[in-house]
Structure 1
Amino acid sequence: MLRAVIWDVDGTIAETERDGHRVAFNRAFADCDLAWDWDVSTYGHLLRVPGGRERLLAWMDSRPDAPATEAGRLQLASELHRRKGHHYCELVEQGTLVARPGVLRLVHACVDAGVHLAVATTTGRGNVEALFPRLFGADWRTLFPVRVCAEDAPQKKPHPQVYELALERLGVAAADAMAIEDSPAGLGASRAAGVGCVVTRGAYFEDADFRGAVHVCRDLDHAMATSDGIGTPVDLPALRHLHAAGRWMVLDEDGPRR
């Protein structure tokens, strides 16, 4: 029985990577008088490296104008990441980031039906606490009583740590949960924890290989092709159907396949 839905944040609940974190990083670079700019394509490549600080350090490896010593790079990465967090919160307050199609609908349907919700993200808690009140209102903590963030799970996705902690705090078995993700790393993390996963393709993963997902769709409002040919958005009945049908059956836009 489906008892819990576990949500990724960046790229899944909102397009925060392209429209939030990327922009905030560029503003942090300007703060520090760095002639660095992460355009949409560049940031897409950098997303192969999980974690903001890790992404900065990987970028510095190829930059002749980065600090020469490891200690200097670590210090600069920490300062840039701190400033990025400030700018990200400003972008959220300005209303730049909105929920992706179908997110609010599915969240409230789950709550109304007594299906538990959790967050399993390797972004920082401050980013979640900035974004969620804007998207879900003042009672967002009631909607998502379990929130596992980077501070709780230092092992980045595709490591399953963040999902294992979410399941533990929910008190729910992996077989009774479903994940919603947007990236191959997120899918890998949920699968490694034994949790079936619906993938709603983020802007940076439109062409990624999501074999092993229960279902793959453009967004949660995009009509999915079920085995009986009926088109439906990914609503709670559809999610329950996918869960009951078998966690490792793959359904994509063209219908079911094994």
Structure 2
Amino acid sequence: MNAPRRPRRAVIFDVDGTLVDSERHGHRVAFNAAFAAAGLPHRWGAEEYGRLLRITGGRRRIAAWLEETGLGAEEAAVLAAGLHKDKTERFRVLVEQGRIPARPGVHDLIDRLAGVGVTLAVATTGSREWVEPLLDGLFEPGTFETVVTGTDVPLLKPDPAVYHDVLARLGLGPEAALAVEDSENGLRAALGAGLRCVVVTNDYTRGQDFTGALAVAQDFAGVGALFDAWSSVSRAARER
């Protein structure tokens, strides 16, 4: 007699600032290099970049900042598109050089979840051009069953579109999944899709409003126990 099949559960990870420590010494460096290559005097310091991270999507971030400097919206949008394309290529090179590390504790958590049969997925507003090589370089093939990026969805976080897409591809309702984010925008996207969300903050996002999060932690140390508890409660509830 076959054993009863366990209900499927999933954990859906954000990438930037969550799976990887990528903002201060990754994206910001690539943005500034793109500005320099275009002959622009602009440089984003660490503090200013933290403020700009409130705007999701690199192209939107550049355009909004250019408008702050006095450019009209149309001119800013055109210039931002070219700068963002160059920035993405420069960031992809950093990824391929292995200069974007996984956050401490991420691999242990992923191994722990995979070991109890939890499906893993990714929901990010980052471009597929760099997300795929980053995941391929840091994780074993097939670690993530589904990867949805900002290249795949028209609306970026805090809009929940990317999470709706991931859930549809997995064939799961939000009650069967848990999101992991690092920022207020990411949390709002997850909650908007009906997901419960664990927030693991970083230096840029610490202090944001995480009302509604299932839990908020400063790092991945000790988070495994929380996921074990969720996994057990989720399984028991669905098997009743």
Give TM-score scaled by structure 1 length. 0.83
Does structure 2 conserve the Cα–Cα contact (< 8 Å) formed by 1:187 and 1:197?
Answer: yes
State the 4+ residue runs in structure 1 displaced beyond 3 angstroms.
Answer: 242-246
SS at match of 1:198: strand
Are residue 162 (structure 1) and residue 151 (structure 2) matched?
no
Q: How does 1:53-132 map to 2 (within 5 A)?
A: 53-64=59-70, 66=71, 70=74, 72-132=75-135
Whole-angstrom distance in 1 between the partners of 2:158 and 2:89: 27
Pick aligned residue for 1:234 from 209, 214, 223: 223
Does structure 2 conserve the Cα–Cα contact (< 8 Å) formed by 1:88 and 1:127?
Answer: yes
SS at match of 2:163: helix
Any gaps of 5 or more consecutive residues in structure 1? Answer: 222-232, 247-258
Give TM-score scaled by structure 2 length. 0.89
Whole-angstrom distance in 2 between the partners of 1:146 and 1:115: 13
SS at match of 2:223: coil
Any gaps of 5 or more consecutive residues in structure 2? Answer: 1-6, 235-240
- The residue that corresponds to 1:13 in the other structure is 19
Amino acid at match of 1:155: L
Q: How does 1:155-194 map to 2 (within 5 A)?
A: 155-194=155-194
Deviation sequence 1:77-128 (CA, Å, 0-9, x none) = 1110111011101211222211111111111222222210110111111121
Does structure 2 conserve the Cα–Cα contact (< 8 Å) formed by 1:5 and 1:115?
Answer: yes
Report the alpha carbon displacement of residue 243 of structure 1 after superposing the two structures with TM.
5.9
Percent of matched pairs sharing the same residue: 43
Whole-angstrom distance in 2 between the partners of 1:183 and 1:13: 12
Pick aligned residue for 2:35 from 29, 54, 72: 29
Whole-angstrom distance in 1 between the partners of 2:160 and 2:204: 22
Instruction: Tell me: CA distance 1:245–1:215, structure 2 relative to 1, closer, same or farther (3 Å).
Output: farther
Does structure 1 conserve the Cα–Cα contact (< 8 Å) formed by 2:8 and 2:119?
Answer: no
Deviation sequence 1:10-42 (CA, Å, 0-9, x none) = 100112122211110000001100000011111
Does structure 1 conserve the Cα–Cα contact (< 8 Å) formed by 2:148 and 2:162?
Answer: yes
Does structure 2 conserve the Cα–Cα contact (< 8 Å) formed by 1:15 and 1:203?
Answer: no
Deviation sequence 1:173-213 (CA, Å, 0-9, x none) = 11111110000011111111111111000221111121211
Amino acid at match of 1:124: S
Whole-angstrom distance in 2 between the partners of 1:7 and 1:69: 33
